[in-house]
Structure 1
């Protein structure tokens, strides 16, 4: 068999990254394409940064032809609409252009499309309905295809919902009883990759796999509580007493998550995530197992067979703390600037006057530093500018400390220790800067 060339779209994501690397180990020539790749993900000349979602059908056709692609694996997806995220554009419109490109390429190309399990009748979110619209477009295209509907994906890395479940396992907190009892059939990411490799090795004219739709998940029923319990076995927290979160707290968390989503962040707890969680993850993997002879890994195979590493534990513990760190820093800068400008302006200006600043400079400096503080808070609040805001906050804090040491050294020994407390704030901003990456 000639070496097949596989194009993986969404090669920076949880599934896409693992599939890209694993298929290369299996001997395929794999092009990993994503809108952006972290520096750690650029491990091969075949890992390509490309604004894939903005490409028209003609550009996609050239991409397929230039690289002699035999299989396209579409792992692209977004959970919820927001800045830079449009479920219609990603799930439906792009798939329509991709299908046109495959048809126009003149090549025999198989499309492997990663979708979601469940029935269309239960679709309630834009995420689910647009995913299903893409399935219908693919089914009507006449192109050789496989629609894969994986269950809850368990992978060595964690992102979104999988990170949230790890965090729950690391703390003595449960979701409400109703949500914990939700059916939640998992699948190991290795089984997804093995399925794609099996399909890629099949001849394009093989009638048995020309058009298939498979649920990929372990056959044994399991609930969300069962999945979290296996993580708790790995973390050593299974015997801890736990408190169930009230339902209103889950709904409140989703609303807060929606708010931060508009600021460019992608928290796992958003209204769409909670709606899909309550819907559950179920399916029938019998057709997939019968066709491929792949024995799905069980929960015990994927979680809990070995104790969690220290990096696993640190990640799980810090994951729910990360939004609190950023929220506290945003509040710190916004409130400190607001108080100095509107609440205690005379007192703030009086400090400068009492230390010999020229009267003409007192008001401009007081107003300027207050506005600077508030601007830093706004910069940190938005995901796109958070790094700039954190660096600016560190520089400003150091400037305040060194400036006070030279001009107003007595502030270092004032009873409330305002300047002394700036040091821990700088450390917290450094921590936030180091935690900024999502992948």
Structure 2
């Protein structure tokens, strides 16, 4: 069969795509940035598209041509610079259903979530629910699959946070430590999609393992998986997490997709549980999922670096903003360094230009779509500063305050930030 997968570059989508290729199907993957996925999974035909801009039925006509199945693995947690929930999870899906009804009426497999409960009014769940209801009423052949917390060899979103918390030194600081959590393996999701494509599954199905863990139990299990000794769980009051949540929401407005945003915290406060309905599908427990994928040192590095990444970005931003702002407070004194080499007006202009460059880089690195270019700019400017100062005033290397020596750890921190930029 010809199968189109939306969100095929993501955590669930990439596994589902690999499974369907192994089943012998012709798979086309849709993603916003499929360049790396094209190299990793060459057996898949890749097309670049942004679902948030595909909100009209005619936007889907060419993509749906000759497709027998559409699997929607796309989604976003919260509105932000990089995500538009209403467009991606609702409007684009309604447009897809309309286009599908007037074409070959392919099977639609929707990877959704439990949208009922106190957290159901959150935009993340409300837009999912709107798409689910429209699909159920569309008359198209469909499967709405509602998995619990999905675990796998790779980590993304909530599973990334689990590994980061598990790698914490000395203690495990948890909010909502006793919240119930149901899980399953990402391979269970791929199995369900495979069976739907084979014609075995239709309707609305909840999928989770037959066990309920607390969040603390799940983090302990991941800590054991990482090979770290048991430590005490520090159960924190929810109000202590609010400053972190607000900062994560602000980062979301700048394009960063932190799992500590308010939507995730609200869902976790309620817990991740489902109303069980017999589906004939088996789901793998958390312990079995982790045991089937033994951890390596890269997983430990990931866990330890994950929560350091935003601190590294914030630290670099503060360093460059301050290095640009502080000299402006005494512009005449700062520009005096250039007076032996150029006229006063040129020295003032050069100092002002370098300050503005530092400020621009410090601000740009906070914006997710600009971060990589800003980091590369920081490297280039740092090396230019070192080269220029070494040629014009090499004695600065002997300065007891170390104005040039201090640039070296900044360069190393910038290289670290570049190395951890990729999100999937």
Q: Cα distance, 1:350 vs. partner?
A: 2.5
TM-score with structure 1 setting the length? 0.91
Q: What are the Cα deviations for residues 110-157 of structure 1, in whole angstroms up to 9, with x where unaligned?
A: 111011125255413111111111111111111111110010010111
When residues 328 and 157 of structure 1 are mapped into structure 2, their CA distance, relative to the original with a 3 A threshold, is same
What pairs with 1:56-205 in structure 2 (closer than 5 Å)? Answer: 56-65=56-65, 68-105=66-103, 107-120=104-117, 122-172=119-169, 173-176=171-174, 179-202=176-199
Distance 1:254 1:366 in 2: 38
What pairs with 1:325-364 in structure 2 (closer than 5 Å)? Answer: 325-342=312-329, 344-353=330-339, 355-364=340-349
1:223 aligns with 2:214: yes
Q: CA RMSD in A?
A: 1.8
Give the gaps of 5 or more residues in structure 2. Answer: none
Alpha carbons 2:180, 2:215 under 8 Å: kept: yes
Distance 1:390 1:406 in 2: 24
Q: Cα distance, 1:270 vs. partner?
A: 0.7
Deviates more, 1:321-330 or 1:248-257: 248-257
1:430 aligns with 2:421: no
Distance 2:105 2:85 in 1: 29
Structure 1 equivalent of residue 241 of structure 2: 250
Distance 1:198 1:158 in 2: 25
Alpha carbons 1:118, 1:282 under 8 Å: kept: no
Q: Cα distance, 1:348 vs. partner?
A: 1.1
Give the gaps of 5 or more residues in structure 1. Answer: 204-208
Q: Cα distance, 1:50 vs. partner?
A: 2.2
TM-score with structure 2 setting the length? 0.94
Equivalent pairs, count: 420
Structure 2 equivalent of residue 395 of structure 1: 380
Alpha carbons 2:119, 2:267 under 8 Å: kept: no
Alpha carbons 1:254, 1:269 under 8 Å: kept: yes
Structure 2 equivalent of residue 54 of structure 1: 53
Alpha carbons 2:174, 2:216 under 8 Å: kept: no
The one of 7, 10, 13 equivalent to 1:10 is 7
Structure 2 equivalent of residue 234 of structure 1: 225
Structure 2 equivalent of residue 206 of structure 1: none
Q: What are the Cα deviations for residues 361-420 of structure 1, in whole angstroms up to 9, with x where unaligned?
A: 221111111111111111211111111111111111111111111111111101111101
